[in-house]
Copies of this chain bind each other. A is one copy, B any other.
């Protein structure tokens, strides 16, 4: 038999780490070499344990799973990252893939699905459930928000008025209104409240 696939589990929930480890341990071809609960731990785990595949949660203390994924993929390009998280929004899938993740799975998957996914990404393949693939494609077709539009949107989600945002960004209120109209169109909404909700729903801005 060949070498086992070395796996690092990154999740801030102890119970979930235990569960994923237990699910994988039922298969002889996998070896869980370590666990981490935050971004720093994930980087150190890669450094010392040389995992083939990292199971990564997106909600992490210390900078989010996407950032951790990016750093891991830059330093260890042969290490595959498989995101396993609750569905957070189209934008999170997009960011994960952009950061170099090989796949995106939902917590709640079965042992068989998990095992198949790990093997696929280890062979260099990509993995995404049908339902998420659809959302992912939708996201890809959408235009990105510009820098200013994103800054305005973030402040909308903080409940700021146009005047406050203008002051905050150091521009005129009319400019803020221009960015707003533009991002309303891009998001397909009619007003700031819908924009805030859509931003949260898609994961463009986290609460």
Report which A residues bind B (CB closer than 8 A): 12-20, 22-23, 84, 86, 107-111, 114, 156-159, 161, 189-194, 196-197, 200-201, 207
Contact = CB atoms under 8 A, between A and B. Distances in A.
A59 B155 CA distance: 29
Given A159-B189, A193-B159, A107 B15 contact: yes
A86 B207 CA distance: 14
Given A15-B114, A16-B107, 7 more contacts: A13-B19, A14-B110, A15-B23, A156-B193, A157-B197, A192-B193, A200-B200
A194 to B, nearest CB: 4
Contact of A13 (B108, B111, B192, B201): B108
A15 B196 contact: no
A14 B105 CA distance: 13
Nearest to A37: B108
Nearest to A84: B15
A165 to B, nearest CB: 12
A111 B13 CA distance: 11
15 contacts: A13-B19, A13-B86, A14-B110, A15-B19, A15-B108, A15-B114, A18-B18, A18-B22, A18-B23, A159-B191, A159-B197, A161-B191, A193-B196, A196-B197, A197-B200
Contacts of A200: 197, 200, 207
A13 B11 CA distance: 14
A62 to B, nearest CB: 14
A111 B15 CA distance: 8
